[in-house]
Structure 1
Amino acid sequence: MGENKHIKELDAFAKKYVKEISTEQPSLDFTASLMQKITLEKNLEVFKAKSLISKKGWMLIAASILALIFISFFTTTESAFNLPKIEFDFLDKLQFTNLFDTLSVSNITLYAVLFFGLLFFAQIVFLKKHFDKRVY
């Protein structure tokens, strides 16, 4: 019962002083000064794009794949590593000579694919520039 009276008193006190407080108006150049401060802080690390795998990482991956390929080509049965030898004899058995002989494409289809491919790459370039301007 006493708590309710205390809450009512606090409520009345708060209402009285909130009515007395005048509203503040920001200065006329508030938005311009705020935007100027934001544009001055261009070197934020939040929007900096970083690749997931660094150049050193890609070099290490490529070097290890090349090392595995070369080791598989030049290993003998008396090797210390005992890696399985990869044989590429199956490539001689595959014949791709008659693969595209029966395929015929009309000129209109060829032009349409070429045109839409060019537009696709133009759109990628345009969107990249747009988002780069938006970030920076």
Structure 2
Amino acid sequence: MEKNKDRELDLFLKDAIKAMSLDKVSKDFTADVLYKIELEREHSKALYYKPLISKQIWGMILLLFLGLCIYLVLGGNIGSSVWWEALKMNMAENFDLVQRFSNFQVNENLVYGAVILAFFVLLQVIYLKRYFADRNVVI
């Protein structure tokens, strides 16, 4: 009796499946899906990483810092003729690296600049760590 019920149910299901037609998608189904994905991507701009200090600003800070270091190493007196002679000297004959840096002294402004730069880098790292921890983002 149970086999009969199973057989009847099986036949019914076979007929029902044959009678059903397959769903047909529109011609521009893929374009619609991609459009919706793009819309979703535009609405979720908050998920994209945007640094506090952009790459261009970091580049400018680096250039200013390197310029300050070069200025301080060369004696801090740009208008002197010694500075201009140092730029125009023949590198092979007149440049002695050991002699040039034998009496090297770090200027106090250079130390302040390095400390301030390190402080702001550390501040950005701490801020970004907290920012991503609040949003449960793994870096």
TM-score normalised by length of structure 1 = 0.32
With structure 2 as the length reference, what TM-score do the two structures score?
0.32
